[in-house]
Amino acid sequence: AAWALGRAEDCVKHGVPVLPMPEKLFDGLVDEEVEVRWRSEISAALREHGVAMAAIARREIVRQIDPCLLVSTLSRVCAGVAVENHVGSLLLEGGATASALFEVQGWNRFDAYSPVAPGVAVLSPVGLPGVAPLLFIKPGSYAWPAAVWPEKV
């Protein structure tokens, strides 16, 4: 829903580089080489800009592919990026995306914090070594509130 509502345009407007899922990953097969390359691109954007948006990035999927596979791939790649780059905050759009990331990471207990805006939950996994990332979660059909966008320098 978010992609159709212009999430990529929102990101560009706020200086957030957008890294769409590579076309090859829509074949319905796990392709570790393509996933590693995409993860490296996201990590490079994080190092350069301090923020990045990874997304399935399709208004509609024309091929027959299980949407759960796409969300699982996105979650696996983002989990790798978060661990490799010691990401402090993750903005998760949609309950299925959040659930898939929690499953990949093995997270099942969270501390809850005051929401940054109506409809945006703020959680942090419990029991992680070091500083756990803050997780901002909202439905895919809502716009992100101004409070979560980075300040343009």
Q: Where are the alpha helices (DSSP H) in the chain?
A: 7-13, 32-49, 67-85, 95-105
Ramachandran area for residue 69 (φ above 0: left; ψ -120 to 50: alpha; else beta): alpha
- Count Cα atoms within 13 angstroms, Cβ side, for 121: 15
List the structure tokens of 81: 């990026």
Interval 50-99: pLDDT, tens:
999 999 986 565 556 777 888 899 999 999 999 899 999 999 998 889 99
What's this model's pTM, rounded to 2 decimal places? Answer: 0.87
Average pLDDT, the chain: 88
Q: How far is CA 55 from CA 76, 111, 119, in A?
A: 12, 26, 21
* Dist CA 147 CA 117 (whole Å): 8
* Dist CA 21 CA 94 (whole Å): 17
